[in-house]
């Protein structure tokens, strides 16, 4: 595309009246029971048993008590019933293992009050309180089975448990009470041949890594009501690479004057390299000097130079244009042995780093995955669980307005199935923390091929892992170039992507999703650099909106698997910084209140609607938002959602909603953080203000009554006619009503 065809994005600032969405409260009559006396006695007996358990708690100074409540299977905690239960029982929801099961937190005195109300419910003539209590099927202690993670249970059942586990305490416990709880757990463990190995904090609650016998895990979860979850302790997995030829001294390296910056959490980056050192902001080593900086150096070089390093070396000139902060997560001890980093340590370091750097660095790359070496399938992501690390990443993204770029992890076919049939296997799903809902999870495509390669150029890489992610959400988000393999599954330099080697003076070759993610990180950093005051939601929206599956070669892959492998596709760089004559982007960054509707007018020029023929215009949009989350809510992890509706101006000039139009292609995983839509219009439309409306919904009580979001909406000419220039048409017909988001920018280098 020539520079003459480029146009600025247009900024939407105007919006119509925000309407209050006040839902009338119902005079709920409660759940109908055949015999309220029997029901009351049943619930009261269970509550008194639970009170006795609470009274037997050794540490009497702990203020919170936790219990399990179940309602009928045809009811749903995740709607208004959950909110009502919280209010009626003077409790807080702290977990939902199933849609009709809830874990509640309350004060001991509040539980006493609950028992008195249950007594009144059973004894009073009209069963006072039945609208509160009739829906309850049971009230009990939280069982160990709802605390022990699926992955840890798999390790225990397969006899691959290695003696360590990670406890998370409930996050509403006052900090002042935590030391006494830790001491109590420590005493219990030591009496049973175990101990506490380390302690830390996360957004999910206090973390305690323990040494414990397999038989003690269930007992521990049963004994301590303050334990929220028990998870496996896994190891960091990184990709390998092979050192190639030394880079000639004659190769020139231009100064790096860019303000685009990325932090990488990796194995460390080589020091004193003339190719890289000028682009390094700092080397941070929270776990000591790097054990082996090869992987981190490769990743850093992919961010600094992009995917053109191999060609630029051959041309004799390198152009670094992104800077890197290296945080070494794989240090060594005093005698040179690799120091294994545990998940709770990883959480601590990424939180500390983001808190210190978020004003200067907006993009954070983790080209690492966590895996249990003794049972890898135990660390594949689960439909109903978000890992501690992924939950922490989501928290940091929302709080500090940053982007995290993650990988799907790599898969090595071991069942004899040929490419691409093995992608259908469940074992091929991505590793954590790739299930992070707000993070950008990156898979790999092959950008090179030869007669002996496993697949052709632009196909999903043979090693890339697939989605879906948590709760069947679309993952990966997108793909980038990560290399290819030979037909027998081996690395080969000519099929691999290139980076700088661990010695700092040679090229290195490797294949892996680790080397695809840095390309997305550099694009995100360039967006923050190019657009002042841009928020993380808009960076993510632009990256996803620019994606397309069409350039990829997916002809050999089943349609049901394609989006699970490539997500939204591969980013089309020309559409990130600019629009063009036939594709005009509207940009909006805003805030919406709870139970409000925001109505945004979008102008459609008559240059598109008045012409003859069909396929007059296409509208596509991507909406990104970061709602409140809570890991213990399981499938209810995201607390809020944005509903999007598009309205067209019909042939008579009236606005008409098209939300129920089945021909509209919509990607809308409810209670995810992304909504995408696409619709082509052929007839019955007129120019003028069309409208996209956005409504904030919630299934839980929200701490924050407002939610920020970003929208990218594109008006396209499907026919790309020579006489069409959408930007100029809008400007001429609206008398410059819309402002340029920024001026036309130089295209990014991949």
Task: List Cα–Cα distances, 378 to 90, 149, 288, 520, in angstroms.
Answer: 37, 10, 30, 28
Q: Which residue has the higher pLDDT, 743 or 429?
A: 429
* Residues 12 and 104 occupy one common structural domain: no
Residue pair 489/509 in contact (Cβ under 8 Å)? The answer is no
Domain boundary among 86, 109, 144: 144
Q: Is residue 117 domain-shared with residue 179, that is, in the same domain?
A: no
- Compute, in degrees rounded to 10, the torsion defined by CA atoms 571, 577, 580, 583: 60
Same domain, 190 and 114: no
Are the C-beta atoms of residues 469 and 567 closer than 8 Å to each other? no
CB 156 within 8 A of CB 214: yes
Q: What is the pLDDT of residue 26?
A: 43
Angle, helices 536-545/517-530, rounded to nearest 10 degrees: 120
Between 52-61, 137-146, 395-404, 574-583, the lowest mean confidence (pLDDT) is in 52-61
Residue 29 lies in a domain: no
- Predicted pLDDT of residue 415: 67
Mean pLDDT across 443-465: 96
Each residue of 126-139: pLDDT tens digit? 899 888 999 999 99
**pLDDT mean over 58-78:** 86
Q: Taking residues 477-500, what's their average pLDDT?
A: 95
CATH code of residue 396: 3.40.50.200
Domain that holds residue 7: 3-21+578-740
Cross-strand partners of 486: 453
**How far apart are the C-alpha atoms of 578 and 573, rounded to whole Å?**
9
Could you tell me if residue 437 is inside a domain?
yes
> What percent of the chain lies above the pLDDT cut of 90?
73
pLDDT at 661 over 90: no
What's the DSSP call for residue 629? B
Query: 325 and 453 in one domain?
Result: yes
Residue 750 lies in a domain: no
Q: What angle do CA 621, 624, 626 make, to 5 degrees?
A: 165
pTM (global) more than 0.75: yes
CATH code, domain carrying 225: 3.30.70.80
- Alpha carbons 484 and 458: distance in angstroms, whole number: 10
The stretch 715-738 carries a mean pLDDT of 94
Do 269 and 408 share a structural domain?
Answer: yes
Query: Closest Cα partner for 331 from 377, 375, 379, 296?
Result: 296
The Cα–Cα gap between 402 and 329 comes to 20
The answer to whether the CB of 256 falls within 8 A of the CB of 278 is yes
| pLDDT exceeds cutoff 90 at 647 | yes
Sequence-separated contacts (24+) of 719-722 with Cβ below 8 Å: 719/613, 719/615, 720/582, 721/582, 721/611
What is the mean pLDDT of the segment spanning 709-719?
97
Question: What is the distance of C-alpha 594 from the center of its chain?
Answer: 23
Distance in angstroms (rounded) separating the CA atoms of residues 14 and 594: 20
Say yes or no: 460 and 367 in one domain: yes
Looking at the structure, tell me whether residues 597 and 710 fall in a common domain. Answer: yes
**Which residues in 193-220 are b (16+ Cβ under 10 Å) and which e?**
ebebbebbbbbbbbbbbbbbeeebbbeb
Asked if residues 228 and 294 have their Cβ atoms less than 8 Å apart, the reply is no
As given in the structure block, the two tokens for residue 402 are 């940053």
Is the residue at 746 inside a domain?
Answer: no
Mean pLDDT over each residue of the chain, to the nearest integer: 91
Kindly provide the b/e burial profile for residues 602-616, where b requires at least 16 CB atoms within 10 angstroms of the residue's own CB.
bbbbebbbeeeeeeb
What is the predicted pLDDT for the residue at 20? 57
Residue 136's pLDDT is: 94
Query: Residue 48 sits in a domain of what CATH number?
Result: 3.30.70
Q: Which residue has 């490539």 as its token pair?
A: 566
User: 568 vs 97, which has greater pLDDT?
Assistant: 568
Q: In 3-state terms, what secondary structure has residue 57?
A: coil
Q: Are residues 7 and 40 in the same domain?
A: no
Is the peptide bond preceding residue 437 cis, with omega within 30 degrees of 0? no
pLDDT band at 83 (very low <50, low <70, confident <90, very high): confident
C-alpha angle 402-405-407 in degrees, rounded to nearest 5 = 160
**Residue 149 domain flag:** no
Domain assignment present for residue 153? The answer is no
Question: Are residues 227 and 306 both part of a single domain?
Answer: no
Which residue is it, tokens 């009274």? 55
Under 8 Å between Cβ of 478 and 442: yes
User: Is 27 within the bounds of a domain?
Assistant: no
Is 126 among the domain residues? yes
At residue 71, φ and ψ (nearest 5 deg) are -120, 170
Q: Does the pLDDT value for residue 231 go beyond 90?
A: yes
501 and 588 in one domain? no
What is Dmax (Cα atoms) for the chain? Answer: 95
Q: Cβ distance 430 to 476 under 8 Å?
A: yes
**Phi-psi bin for 634: left (phi > 0), alpha (psi -120 to 50), beta?**
left
**Dist CA 738 CA 728 (whole Å):** 11
Extended beta strands in 296-428, E state? 317-318, 323-328, 363-365, 369-371, 403-407
Residue 360 has pLDDT above 70, yes or no: yes
Q: Could you say which of 509, 542, 574 is where a domain stops?
A: 574
Q: What is the CATH number of the domain that holds 703?
A: 2.60.120.380
Local confidence band at 267 (pLDDT 50, 70, 90 cut-offs): very high
Among 518, 546, 574, the domain boundary falls at 574
Structurally, the chain folds into a number of domains equal to: 4
Q: Are residues 179 and 260 in the same domain?
A: no
Using alpha carbons only, give the angle 622, 473, 460 rounded to the nearest 5 degrees: 85
Q: Which two tokens stand for residue 540?
A: 């993510």
Residues 133 and 243 in one domain: no
Residue 28's pLDDT band (cuts 50, 70, 90)? very low
Q: Output the pLDDT for position 374.
A: 82
């Amino acid at each position: 595309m020539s520079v003459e065809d480029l146009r600025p994005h247009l900024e939407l600032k105007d919006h119509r009246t925000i309407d209050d969405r006040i839902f009338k409260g119902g005079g709920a009559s409660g759940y109908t029971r055949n015999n309220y006396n029997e029901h009351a006695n049943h619930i009261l007996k269970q509550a008194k048993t639970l009170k006795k358990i609470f009274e037997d708690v050794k540490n009497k100074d702990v203020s919170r008590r936790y219990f399990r409540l179940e309602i009928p299977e045809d009811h749903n905690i995740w709607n208004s019933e959950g909110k009502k239960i919280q209010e009626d029982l003077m409790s807080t929801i702290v977990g939902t293992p199933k849609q009709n099961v809830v874990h509640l937190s309350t004060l001991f005195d509040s539980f006493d009050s609950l028992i008195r109300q249950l007594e009144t419910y059973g004894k009073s003539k009209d069963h006072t309180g039945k609208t509160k209590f009739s829906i309850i099927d049971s009230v009990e202690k939280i069982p160990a089975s709802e605390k022990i993670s699926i992955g840890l249970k798999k390790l225990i059942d397969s006899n691959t448990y290695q003696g360590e586990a990670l406890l998370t305490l409930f996050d509403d416990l006052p900090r002042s009470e935590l030391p006494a709880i830790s001491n109590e757990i420590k005493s219990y463990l030591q009496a049973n041949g175990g101990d506490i190995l380390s302690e830390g904090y996360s957004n999910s609650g206090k973390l305690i890594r323990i040494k414990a016998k397999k038989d003690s895990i269930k007992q521990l979860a049963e004994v301590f009501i303050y334990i929220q979850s028990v998870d496996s302790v896994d190891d960091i997995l990184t990709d390998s690479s092979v050192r190639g030829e030394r880079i000639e001294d004659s190769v020139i390296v231009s100064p790096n004057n860019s303000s685009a910056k990325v932090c990488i959490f990796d194995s460390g980056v080589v020091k004193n390299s003339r190719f890289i050192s000028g682009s390094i902001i700092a080397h941070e080593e929270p776990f000591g000097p790097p054990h082996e900086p090869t992987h981190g150096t490769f990743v850093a070089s992919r961010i600094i130079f992009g995917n053109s390093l191999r060609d630029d070396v051959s041309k004799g000139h390198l152009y670094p244009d992104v800077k890197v902060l290296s945080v070494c997560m794989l240090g060594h001890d005093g005698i040179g042995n690799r120091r294994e980093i545990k998940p709770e340590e990883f959480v601590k370091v990424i939180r500390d780093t983001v808190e210190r750097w978020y004003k200067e660095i907006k993009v954070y790359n983790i080209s690492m995955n966590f895996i249990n070496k003794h049972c890898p399938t135990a660390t594949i992501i689960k439909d109903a669980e978000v890992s501690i690390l992924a939950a922490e990443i989501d928290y940091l993204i929302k709080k500090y307005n940053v982007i995290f770029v993650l990988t799907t992890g790599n898969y090595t076919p071991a069942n004899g199935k040929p490419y691409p049939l093995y992608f259908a296997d469940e074992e091929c799903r991505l590793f954590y923390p790739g299930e992070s809902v707000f993070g950008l999870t990156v898979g790999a495509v092959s950008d090179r091929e030869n007669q002996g390669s496993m697949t052709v150029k632009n196909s999903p890489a043979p090693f890339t892992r697939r989605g879906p992610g948590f709760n069947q959400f679309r993952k990966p988000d997108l793909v980038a170039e990560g290399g290819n393999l030979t037909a027998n599954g081996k690395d080969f330099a000519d099929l691999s992507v290139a980076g700088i080697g661990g010695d700092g003076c040679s090229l290195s070759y490797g294949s892996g999703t680790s080397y695809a993610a840095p390309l997305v990180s550099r694009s995100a950093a360039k967006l923050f650099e190019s657009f002042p005051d841009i928020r993380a939601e808009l960076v993510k929206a632009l990256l996803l909106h620019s994606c397309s599956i069409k350039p990829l070669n997916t002809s050999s892959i089943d349609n049901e698997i394609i989006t699970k492998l490539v997500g939204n596709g591969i980013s089309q760089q020309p559409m990130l910084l600019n629009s063009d004559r036939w594709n005009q982007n509207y940009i909006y960054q805003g805030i919406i209140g709870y139970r409000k509707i925001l109505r945004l007018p979008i102008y459609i020029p008559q240059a598109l609607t008045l012409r003859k023929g069909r396929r007059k215009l296409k509208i596509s949009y991507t909406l990104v938002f970061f709602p409140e989350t809570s890991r213990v809510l399981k499938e209810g992890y995201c607390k809020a959602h944005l509903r999007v509706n598009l309205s067209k101006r019909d042939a008579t000039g009236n606005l008409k909603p098209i939300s129920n139009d089945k021909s509209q292609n919509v990607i809308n995983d409810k209670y995810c953080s992304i909504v995408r839509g696409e619709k082509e219009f052929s007839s019955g439309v007129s120019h003028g203000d069309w409208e996209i409306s956005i409504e904030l919904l919630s299934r839980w009580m929200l701490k924050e009554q407002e939610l920020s979001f970003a929208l990218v909406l594109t008006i396209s000419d499907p026919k790309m006619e020579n006489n069409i220039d959408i930007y100029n048409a809008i400007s001429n017909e609206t008398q410059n009503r819309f402002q340029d988001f920024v001026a036309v920018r130089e295209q990014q280098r991949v």
